Amino acid sequence: AHPVQSIMTAITLGTAVGAGGGLVKVTMTAKKVVTGVSISPDAVDMDDLTMLEDLLIAALNDGYEQADEEYEEKMGKFAGLGL
């Protein structure tokens, strides 16, 4: 397999996990495809859904940041090659 194809496969299979205060967990591939969401019952307060929304946003952003780092780590050596 071509080296770039192997790296792209690794990126697709890699995972990033974002945690929103430990109460919300989002799992995604390094290509930012969300594959799972876990919400602790402690995060659900029907009188304060804004808190749950904020935790979900934090978890997603954390996961996106980790996915970006993994992508850069694996693809950085190919920067400037027009891939």
Q: Contact at 8 Å (CB) between 16 and 28?
A: yes
Residue in the block written with tokens 């945690």: 19
The one-letter code for the residue type at 62 is D
pLDDT score of 33: 85
Pairing type for strands 34-39 and 15-20 reads: unpaired
pLDDT in tens, 7-64: 455 545 566 677 777 788 888 887 788 888 888 898 888 999 998 888 888 888 888 8
pLDDT score of 47: 92
Q: How far apart are CA 72 and CA 82, in angstroms?
A: 15
- Give the residue among 45, 4, 3 at the shortest CA–CA distance from 21: 45
pLDDT band at residue 80 using 50, 70 and 90 as cut-offs: low
Structure tokens at 64: 């996106």
